[in-house]
């Protein structure tokens, strides 16, 4: 099973071959990772997140020297518009900044780092780059609901790459020991059902060049990301870096922040590990549940 789900909201992770070179690439192909529920395997590390009524927790096997991209396109059939905030090792891949809460944010008038007015097109002269319009992707942006990497200061997307080299990890370089070995998705729904008008066609995996407009920091609720650190357990500490440039647009949500519900409808946490470590967990088997727990030990039947 590759499809991860919480409250009828979905995500899949692909790890195709990493692109190499400094020219602009089209989007890489599908290579879906199998996903397993943490709560179903008792031998999972104790520090991996557990699921709840509002959150699902999965683990996936990954390998170094592979690329990665996140696919949310199954959510386009939802009756409501969907916005997704992403955490990659504790870094928002659109802003490139450390996040401690999976909130929806928009940037319209002021730089959220320096609290000074933007110049034209959300340019902060202290950051020395143009800020994105928001920290999330959404069905209202006019773009397919997937993301292949980290947005850089030029508005380009650089492919997620999996590496054992700590010096190449984006979170390792930005937040150091505060990084986590997990990925998080927070799903927000619009307050009202979406109109029957389609926002975009759903093509095969491909994208467009970045084009942004709009701008101000507005926050919703406080939703924690996965903050648990890695367990030793012989699991390789794989980092997620930024590789080749990909032809992909981070679409702009033209709605105000109050278009969206203030609380997420669901969260998906993804702990990742190397193939060998995952195989050891799977070999121990799933937990054994009592089939008739309420009647266990009682005389039943005719």
Write out pLDDT tens, residues 123-179.
999 988 889 999 999 999 988 999 999 998 777 899 999 999 999 999 999 999 988
Across all residues in the chain, what is the average pLDDT? 85
Does any domain span residue 187? yes
Does any domain span residue 29? yes
Q: What integer is the mean pLDDT of 219-227? A: 45
Strands 80-88 and 136-138: antiparallel
Q: Write down the pLDDT at residue 44.
A: 93
Q: Write down the pLDDT at residue 237.
A: 85
Write out pLDDT tens, residues 242-279.
999 999 988 999 999 999 999 999 999 999 999 999 99
Does any domain span residue 302? no
Q: What angle do CA 25, 27, 30 make, to 5 degrees?
A: 140
Under a CB-based contact definition with an 8 Å cutoff, are residues 143 and 251 in contact? yes
Per-residue confidence band for 206, with pLDDT thresholds at 50, 70 and 90:
very low
Write out pLDDT tens, residues 29-39.
999 999 999 99
More confident residue, 137 or 46: 137
Q: Write down the pLDDT at residue 262.
A: 94
pLDDT over 60 at 226, yes or no: no
The position carrying tokens 């986590």 is 180
pLDDT over 50 at 106, yes or no: yes
Q: Write down the pLDDT at residue 213.
A: 31
Q: Write down the pLDDT at residue 196.
A: 61
Sequential DSSP letters for the chain: ---EEETTEEEEEE--BPP-SSSPBPPP---BPP-EEGGG-TTS-TTSPPP-SSEEEEEEEE-TTBEEEEE-GGGGGSSEEEEEEEEETTB-TTT-SB-SB----B-SSB-TTT--B-BGGGEETTTTEEPPSBSEEETTSSS-SEE-EEE-TTS-EEEEEEES-GGGBHHHHHTGGG--SEEEEEEEEEEEEPPSS-S----SS------------------B---PPPP-TT----EEEEEEEE--------S-GGGB-SS-SEEEEEEEEEHHHHHHHHHT------TTGGGTTS----
Does any domain span residue 176? yes
Per-residue confidence band for 197, with pLDDT thresholds at 50, 70 and 90:
low
Does any domain span residue 301? no
pLDDT over 80 at 216, yes or no: no
Does any domain span residue 298? no
Which domain covers residue 97, as residue numbers? 4-289
Does any domain span residue 111? yes
In total, how many domains does the chain have? Answer: 1
Write out pLDDT tens, residues 280-298.
999 998 887 766 667 677 7
Does any domain span residue 141? yes
């Amino acid at each position: 099973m590759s499809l991860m789900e919480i409250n009828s909201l979905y995500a899949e992770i692909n790890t195709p071959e990493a692109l190499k070179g400094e020219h602009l690439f089209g989007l890489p192909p599908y290579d879906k990772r199998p996903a397993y529920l943490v709560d179903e395997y008792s031998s999972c590390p104790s520090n991996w997140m557990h699921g709840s009524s509002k959150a699902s927790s999965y683990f996936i096997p990954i390998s170094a020297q592979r690329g990665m991209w996140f696919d949310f396109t199954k959510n386009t059939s939802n009756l409501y518009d969907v916005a997704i905030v992403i955490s990659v090792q504790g870094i928002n891949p659109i802003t490139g900044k450390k996040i401690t809460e999976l909130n929806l944010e928009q940037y319209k008038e002021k730089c959220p780092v320096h609290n000074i007015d933007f110049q034209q097109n959300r340019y902060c002269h202290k950051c020395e780059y143009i800020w994105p319009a928001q920290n999330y992707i959404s069905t209202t942006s006019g773009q397919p609901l997937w993301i292949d990497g980290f947005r850089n200061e030029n508005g380009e997307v650089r492919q997620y790459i999996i590496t054992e080299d700590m010096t190449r990890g984006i979170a390792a370089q930005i937040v150091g020991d505060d990084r986590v070995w997990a990925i998080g998705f927070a799903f927000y729904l619009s307050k009202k059902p979406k109109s029957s008008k389609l926002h975009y066609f759903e093509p095969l995996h491909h994208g467009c060049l970045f084009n942004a407009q709009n701008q101000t920091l507005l926050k919703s609720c406080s939703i924690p990301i996965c903050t648990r650190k890695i367990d030793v357990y012989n699991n390789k500490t794989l980092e997620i870096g930024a590789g080749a440039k990909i032809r992909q647009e981070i679409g702009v949500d033209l709605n105000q922040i109050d278009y969206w519900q203030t609380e997420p409808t669901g969260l998906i946490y993804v702990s990742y590990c190397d193939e060998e470590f995952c195989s050891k967990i799977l070999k121990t088997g799933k937990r054994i549940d009592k089939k008739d727990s309420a009647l266990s030990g009682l005389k039943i039947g005719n």
